[in-house]
């Protein structure tokens, strides 16, 4: 798989196909492997690019990062790859970064896909929970964080009928470096609220949510769809917070139909 160097940092990414670039940003504490089941199913004339964000997966680079700096790094990578303008999709934390990207470089976008994510910033309680999780990962490492998060990541149906998805997800989460987890938690804790910016999103958007996502209620996704001028909502059946891993066939078909609608 390709990698590229920028500012001394190696950025790894998956790439497949040719055509309009479609970029997929993973969630937390994950990496580009979450897109593999989906990429196997996506056909069509598009160039799919799924980077490992700073410090995640096979990308190097330590140090603090923010949703803003992550958006800038993704933009830099896409410039380097000649992959702008693009359709940008983000899963959960990847969606927070996509929202930043949309604010900073709207002209480089042809469309947006928000997957199991939201525009709101953390509440005071959520910020406190981030700090507790930072302490936890510093004390006990990535496995402790994975154990804490896993029960909320997948729908019941997935856990019962597709246990391999749970095993794959657990392996990805446990392999995430503890330092990266701590930096990402701080970055998410301090992120901007983008609710008021949704109305000025200039491109078509797809809002997608697993029907039993324990972290993003359908009502939150529906409110996001309502606020964005040109948006559609897709609720993915038998899926939780990891809809693209849990139901890759459904998600691929929703994405393909959205991409066909992009002028
Ligand atoms: C994610 O899946 O990226 C995280 O659950 C996002 C978050 O913790 O806010």
CA distance 115 to 30: 14
Per residue in 181-210, pLDDT (tens digit) is 999 999 999 999 999 999 999 999 999 999
Which atom, in ligand 1's list, is nearest to the CA of 93? 3
- How high is the pLDDT of residue 63? 86
CA distance 187 to 207: 23
Q: Which residues line ligand 1 (CB under 6 A)?
A: 27-28, 92-93, 188, 215, 241
Would the pLDDT of 6 be above 80?
no
Q: Which helix (H) or strand (E) holds 49?
A: strand 46-51
Residue of the nearest CA to atom 9 in ligand 1?
Answer: 93
- How high is the pLDDT of residue 44? 74
Which atom, in ligand 1's list, is nearest to the CA of 215? 5
Ligand 1 centre and the CA of 210: distance in Å? 14
Ligand 1 centre and the CA of 66: distance in Å? 14
Q: Tokens for 97? A: 């970064």
Q: How far is CA 40 from the centre of its chain?
A: 18
CA distance 188 to 28: 10
Across the beta sheet with 46-51, the strand order is 3-6, 9-16, 46-51, 20-25, 86-91, 109-115, 205-210, 231-236
Which atom, in ligand 1's list, is nearest to the CA of 116? 2
Mean pLDDT of 120-124: 98
Mean pLDDT of 222-237: 98
Ligand 1 centre and the CA of 188: distance in Å? 8
Would the pLDDT of 261 be above 60?
yes
The two beta strands, 205-210 and 20-25, are unpaired
Contact present, 89 and 204 (Cβ < 8 Å): no
CA distance 51 to 57: 9
pTM, two decimals, is: 0.97
Which atom, in ligand 1's list, is nearest to the CA of 92? 3
User: In a mutational test of the pocket of ligand 1, which residue from 100, 182, 188 has the highest number of ligand atoms less than 8 Å from its CB?
Assistant: 188
Ligand 1 centre and the CA of 190: distance in Å? 13
- Smallest Cα–Cα separation from 39: which of 29, 54, 30, 51? 51
Per residue in 61-72, pLDDT (tens digit) is 878 999 999 999
Would the pLDDT of 85 be above 80?
yes
Per residue in 127-181, pLDDT (tens digit) is 999 999 999 999 999 999 999 999 999 999 999 999 999 999 999 999 999 999 9
């Amino acid at each position: 798989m390709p990698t590229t160097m920028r500012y001394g940092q190696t950025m790894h990414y998956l790439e497949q196909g040719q055509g309009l670039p479609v970029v997929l940003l993973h969630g937390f504490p994950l990496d580009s492997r979450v897109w593999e089941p989906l990429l196997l199913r996506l056909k069509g004339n598009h160039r799919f690019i799924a980077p490992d964000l700073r410090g995640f997966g096979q990308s190097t680079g330590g140090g603090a990062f923010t949703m803003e700096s992550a958006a800038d790094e993704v933009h830099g990578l896409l410039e380097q790859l000649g992959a702008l303008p693009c359709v940008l999709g983000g899963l959960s934390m990847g969606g927070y970064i996509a929202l930043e990207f949309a604010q900073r470089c709207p002209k480089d976008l042809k469309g947006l896909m928000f997957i199991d994510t939201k525009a709101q910033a953390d509440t005071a309680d959520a910020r406190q929970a981030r700090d507790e999780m930072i302490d936890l990962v510093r004390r006990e490492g990535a496995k402790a964080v994975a154990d804490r998060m896993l029960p909320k990541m997948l729908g019941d149906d997935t856990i019962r009928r597709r246990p391999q998805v749970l095993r794959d997800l657990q392996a990805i989460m446990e392999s995430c470096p503890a330092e990266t987890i701590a930096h990402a938690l701080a970055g998410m804790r301090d992120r901007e609220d983008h609710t008021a910016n949704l109305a000025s999103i200039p491109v078509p958007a797809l809002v997608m949510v697993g029907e039993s996502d324990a972290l993003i209620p359908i009502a939150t996704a529906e409110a996001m769809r309502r606020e964005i001028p040109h948006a559609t909502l897709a609720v993915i059946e038998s899926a939780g917070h990891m809809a693209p891993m849990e139901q890759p066939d459904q998600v691929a078909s929703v994405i393909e139909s959205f991409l066909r609608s992009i002028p």
